[in-house]
Structure 1
Amino acid sequence: MSNSSYKGPVTLDRYTRISELGDTLHSLLNKGIPIVGIIILLLVLKMFLQDAPGWLGLLWIGAGTCIGLLVWHSAGIGLPLLPLLAIQHFAVYGIPLINRNETLADYSDTLRDRAGMEVLILMVVCSISWRFGMQLFRPSPPVAHTLRIFVTEGNKVLNRLGVALILTSAGYELLNTLHLTSAVLSLFPAGTQSIVVAIIGAAGMSGYFLVSMFIASGEAHRNTRTIFGVVLVSHLILMTASILLSSVINIIGAVTLGLFWGSGRMPKMFLLICAITLSFLNIGKFEMRERYWGASGQVTTNVSIAKFPAYYWEWAGYSTNKIFGQTDDYVGKKNDNRQTMLSRMDNMQNLLYVSNKVTVEKTPVLGGETYSLIPPLLIPRILWPDKPRAHEGQALLNVHYGRQSQADTFTTYVAWGLLPEAYGNFGPIWGAVILGVTLGIIFAWIENATAAKPLLSLEGMVTFSLLIGFAASFEMVSSVLVTSLFQSIVTISMACIPFVQSTSVIRPEESEAESE
């Protein structure tokens, strides 16, 4: 389906296909790609005129981003995993160069330029492989496993279902804040607790996506909009109270996708409010962690919901003091190195680190060892209680390349990302090539397999889970990404299979038109 077939916001019902929603992105890219290209060129020009290190690397990264967007725009028919990869990699590899992050200061201009070239190679190979895969695979037939309730009752049940899902997820978070979840989860068999938590998380993301999509399309009831706003804000407050701001990314991502697909426009105001709020809280989070976290890195001072106003007022005070250059004597000198929201998204330091280890210090590559760990990790823990941890591949990289000792890997996780992991396994160029071919073929297969499936089906829910999971994967190694996606797919399938039936997803009016 080309961008020329776009006909405006899609009709939201049980027949709405993922391919129809993909058309919305085609419309956005018509004007978006030239704008992105101009912005990238201006940023590169600015760095060049300032003689800033890494301008050439940024040019390569920007070129890879534009190639990924253009290739998908020319032949994409559904789930936009390729453009997501392109934007994601510009953010986590390009923005650190633009910001001149201190984490990059010890690396030469040559290494930075080579790192940018690695990103370009990845995007070019991934785009070519995806294009080949789109020719190799064919879209699946318009038949899917739809929830029976959608078939019998149609749209009238969607508001109730969406609200029920977000209330379930927010209710679990409330119980967790009240320290009541442990008692409830202990009632389940050993090894199944993680499955229950995953089901609740998937239900919450699906609910937020579903309700926000109908709100954006103007089809939600007024009461639904009110409940949605109250529950969303309350849920985010409960989650950020842990001082782990990254914990809210999945919910914000689900709402953003729902608002975008429901209206055909990017929810700029919602994103702006989220960005400002999280950035403000991020400024003071280190003081709050020192105040409320213990040596183990966990919250040790229990804050009741009744004390939330004072708790967040204190947090706002730390952030405000930092903005205006004031410091609190209580905090001491432990937080001299601050981490902004943008510096948090920094995979470039990981790519430069492993590049330096391999090309300068001549550390041997792993030859695919981290990928060989994946198959055993797919065995449910209920069947193998002592199976390796999901972060085993990440730990192997950190120990092999001297970032951590084996003991340290059990207390602190040092992130890597897919491209640095591939580099650490196969070295320069080949790592990007192998990763690009793999991702490109997988993306093409998923896009063809899901394009004709309705959003409100088992296949649609699994697809949405894949999209959200991959969007949040920029720091993950393959073992963590695959196991988390596998767990989501299994839990969603287990929850839905008893309530689905195989149905056609062709709208009645389309069927009548074809018969005529």
Structure 2
Amino acid sequence: MSSSPPKTETMTLLFWAGMAALLFANLDSLRQVPQSTAIGALLIGVACMYPVYLWCAGRVQGLPVFPFFSLTYLWTFCLPLLSGNLNVWSYSPEAHLKAALTTVLFLVSGTVVWLQIVGTPQTIKKPFRALKTDTADNVFISMVAAGAFLNMYVVGGWSGIPDKLFTIVRGIILGLSFLGIFVLAYRAGQNSMPRTKQYIFFIALVANIVTAAAGLILKTALTLFLLSVMAYVIGGKRLPILGLLMGIFLLLPLHHGKHEMRHKYWEGPTAHYVQPWQYPAWFQEWWGYAQANKNRVPQRWEKIEEKESFVERSSVIHMLMMAQAKIPEPFPFLGGKTYAIIPGLIVPRALNPHKLRSHEGTHMLNIHVQRQTYEQTLKTTIAWGLLPEAYANFGYFGCAFIGGILGAFYGVITLAAIGTPPFSARMMFCVLVMSLALASTEWTAGVYAATLFQSSVPIVGIKYAFMKIYRPQFSPRSPGLTASGQPLYPYLVQPKPRERAAPGQTPSPRPGGVPLGRG
């Protein structure tokens, strides 16, 4: 049996090191919480991290779309059971275990279906569309820079673009900028992009993160930072040490000072705007608050939710507990009502002026269990998530079924992109779906479908307007190579086929990972 590639071994070691650190950090909490709660947390942890392990160990190929999706259940369903979240501890340990087992059912269902699909990649035979690498590098670097300019436009309070046009422009630029950050960081991790372009991309990325943070929405900046780090790791199977240290020591500490900045500049009688030349003084003031605020007692004007930790704010498992406590008694199952509105949410508002709100499914759930009135939903949205929504509609069957549907969807998208170049339509759509898998922790199915449809439009436009059709051709002796042994397409690498077993032997269950070639 051949040994794993060194990069795969490195990722496996990093996975186990991370798991050991995670377990050590939460060991005291596991000992202090009731046994039922601790067992539930451990079961969710195993279920959500197993797909991540399979990808790190090279047992599955392609982008880790489903592993990233399952990973989000670590901080939304697993760790909240070990935190001091009052929403979670308003329910009994028995309710914790019941919700945990439901979560495991959901994740296991998705994992089984996903593995059946991605475990058998096929040789690419159908034509596919892709951008020329050099051109695509330049276009997406420009989009990342445009994203930074758009942030300056909003934070600086600039005008000049009509509101209706701005909404369209903003959606296109943000979508392509987000996509560009991932694809370019992925290529930088592979070291398949010229060094000069890597430096230019890094400058544009830093500008995008800084301008996003200037609006005092630190979550957006952290999302861009983590997206670029994850893409780099996926592409190169190694950590970007310098970039990681910069983010940890320069970006994360700002969290301690954001409440003072928001209180000072958001609660005034007029809106406060920051111009690019004011950024140094702006971040210096913010950094000062952050350093002084580490051990300070919170003021009375600070909201309780602002003092919560990341895990406490990210918790969604308490919504599942609430659903299980109220459904089917005293409130009945919804029977798919929140899914029935999805087709109408996909239709653009320009074609349907009376289109429902994108969070209409979320509002239906809150009204159904009397968490909110209709009037209250006009001002506040209380998030649910895909799993609690599935239970509210169809109970345990819905949890297993929706988990399987998501596993199949993520598996098919992953399989279609395996072996294609980074700037192919298949790979770009796969990246988009993976980003939504990370962002969908609090979404209902309607929000997910509407966001996916809207975000796919630019990719479809680029696909048919600018992408060239490539038709894979294979020589009889060596698929993917010409008769002289040269690659037909420099960046096209076919998926590794299954090893054929000898008579009486069981075939290898999953193929090892194969990196994409240079662009």
1:481 deviates by 1.2
Q: How many residues align?
A: 480
Q: What SS does the corresponding residue of 1:473 show, helix, strand or coil?
A: helix
Q: Deviations over 1:188-246 (max 9, x none)?
A: 4xxxx544322211221233233333433445445434433333222222212222222
Distance 1:71 1:240 in 2: 34
Task: Choose which of 303, 327, 337 in structure 2 pairs with 1:369.
Answer: 337
The 1:231/1:448 distance shift into structure 2, 3 A limit, reads: closer
> Over aligned residues, Cα RMSD in angstroms?
3.3
Q: Partner residue of 2:517? A: none
8 Å contact 1:195–1:487 — kept in the other structure?
no
Structure 1, 480-489 or 72-81: larger mean CA deviation: 72-81
Task: Choose which of 266, 275, 287 in structure 1 pairs with 2:239.
Answer: 266
Distance 1:409 1:386 in 2: 17
Are 1:288 and 2:271 matched, yes or no? no
Distance 1:136 1:231 in 2: 38
The 1:176/1:505 distance shift into structure 2, 3 A limit, reads: farther
Distance 2:411 2:173 in 1: 29
State the one-letter code of the partner of 2:331.
T
TM-score, normalisation: structure 2:
0.81
Q: Partner residue of 2:421? A: 454
Q: Partner residue of 1:353? A: 322
Q: Partner residue of 2:110? A: 126
Q: Partner residue of 1:184? A: 161
Structure 1, 486-495 or 445-454: larger mean CA deviation: 445-454
The 1:303/1:423 distance shift into structure 2, 3 A limit, reads: same
Distance 1:29 1:469 in 2: 24
8 Å contact 1:41–1:59 — kept in the other structure?
no
The 1:75/1:347 distance shift into structure 2, 3 A limit, reads: same
Task: Choose which of 177, 202, 205 in structure 1 pairs with 2:175.
Answer: 202
Distance 1:303 1:475 in 2: 31
Q: Deviations over 1:71-95 (max 9, x none)?
A: 6668633232222222111222112
Structure 1, 286-295 or 380-389: larger mean CA deviation: 286-295
Task: Choose which of 399, 402, 405 in structure 1 pairs with 2:367.
Answer: 399
Are 1:64 and 2:47 matched, yes or no? yes
Task: Choose which of 318, 321, 336 in structure 1 pairs with 2:289.
Answer: 318
8 Å contact 2:11–2:237 — kept in the other structure?
no
The 1:364/1:515 distance shift into structure 2, 3 A limit, reads: farther
Distance 2:474 2:209 in 1: 37
1:503 deviates by 0.5
Distance 2:25 2:41 in 1: 8
State the one-letter code of the partner of 1:343.
E
Q: Deviations over 1:114-140 (max 9, x none)?
A: 111111111111122223445899665
Q: What SS does the corresponding residue of 2:161 show, helix, strand or coil?
A: helix
8 Å contact 1:71–1:127 — kept in the other structure?
no
Are 1:50 and 2:50 matched, yes or no? no
Q: Partner residue of 1:308? A: 279
Distance 2:300 2:382 in 1: 25
Distance 2:118 2:202 in 1: 40
Structure 2: segments with no counterpart, 5+ residues: 486-519
Task: Choose which of 249, 252, 255 in structure 1 pairs with 2:228.
Answer: 255
The 1:124/1:332 distance shift into structure 2, 3 A limit, reads: closer
Distance 1:98 1:114 in 2: 15
Distance 2:186 2:117 in 1: 30
Q: Partner residue of 2:349? A: 381
1:392 deviates by 0.7
Structure 1: segments with no counterpart, 5+ residues: 9-23
Distance 2:110 2:119 in 1: 14
Alignment identity in percent? 25
TM-score, normalisation: structure 1:
0.82
Q: Partner residue of 1:344? A: 313
Q: Partner residue of 1:229? A: 202
Distance 2:272 2:74 in 1: 39
8 Å contact 1:142–1:453 — kept in the other structure?
no
Distance 1:454 1:475 in 2: 32
8 Å contact 1:253–1:468 — kept in the other structure?
no
The 1:490/1:437 distance shift into structure 2, 3 A limit, reads: same
Are 1:500 and 2:482 matched, yes or no? no
Distance 2:294 2:452 in 1: 39
Q: What SS does the corresponding residue of 2:441 show, helix, strand or coil?
A: coil
Distance 1:326 1:135 in 2: 53
